[in-house]
Amino acid sequence: MYRAIAKNKRNTWVLLFIFILLFAAVGLVFGEYTGSGMWGLGIASLVALLLCFGSYYYSDSIVLKATGARPAQKEEYPHLVHSIEGLSIGAGLPAPRLYIIDDPTPNAFATGRNPEKGVVAVTTGLIERLNRTEIEGVLAHEMAHIKNYDTRLATLATVMVGAVVLLSEWIRRSFFFRSMRGRTSSRGRGGHQALIMIVALVISILAPIFAQLLRLAISRRREFLADADGALITRYPEGLASALEKISAEPQKLKNASTATAPLFIINPFRTGGSSKLFSTHPPTGERIKALREM
């Protein structure tokens, strides 16, 4: 378990480092092409940060409302409340707020920007179809997301993607404005300017795609990390492995899920067998189960 956790943390930091290098490269190309220097990079970063500010601070309430979740009452779900309280004590975390989604499809998600604001939501289908050790495995996985500040990391990745997309869009728009201005008196630097234009155009097209792939790769690594950390909390990897098998075997889709909330769930509610791994927010369930059973 400890080796799996350490490996996933290292891989996440490597991906973040590559992300930062990509962001810096796009910023340098943008500054060189537009002549704005570091000002353009700073403005793009600020705009992207402001766009993500609201979703960061209000993500829990937005997601809970979007999924139709309601607070779990101890009188209605005593075993569920006792389980999450016991796991919180074992993990040394504040007990997250517990919510219920009235849906027969088994699934669960966590949100909240820090452990003090943590929220775990489970569907009624998960409570009905999984046994106690499997439910504890799912709860521990979601608590691991909260413990590891995965919402904060996802927001950082979103900021980086937003800034890269914004810079790339500005580069493409500048081509249009330059063509509107007509010819310029840059005969002495024509070859240099042409090279910069080609590089800027290629970067503006490819950088947003690569940034999205990096964000998805980080998301997949955090799922592996939450699996390993969740198994460490319960000391029983088989509980989560068995839960993942049952959840992935469910043919019905979650009613209140959307493409915006899908990455939060323990298994993507819109999963399709033919989707590419590169463009998936979750690693293949078979790989997750195999990793858990090798612990």
Q: Which residues are catalytic?
A: 142
Whether the CB-CB separation of 142 and 120 falls below 8 Å is answered with yes
Give the phi and the psi of residue 121 in degrees, each rounded to 5.
-125, 135
Whole-number Cα distances in Å, 132 to 100, 105, 112, 138, 239: 16, 17, 25, 10, 9
Whether the CB-CB separation of 118 and 96 falls below 8 Å is answered with yes
Whether the CB-CB separation of 52 and 162 falls below 8 Å is answered with yes
Name the residue type at position 31: G
Strand partners, 70: 100
9, with CB counted inside 10 A (0-12, 13-18, 19+), is middle
Q: What kind and span of H or E run contains 97?
A: strand 97-101
Nearest to 233 by CA among 121, 119, 109, 140: 140
Helices (H), the chain: 2-34, 38-67, 78-91, 124-129, 132-147, 150-181, 190-234, 237-248, 285-293
72: left (phi over 0), alpha (psi -120 to 50) or beta: beta
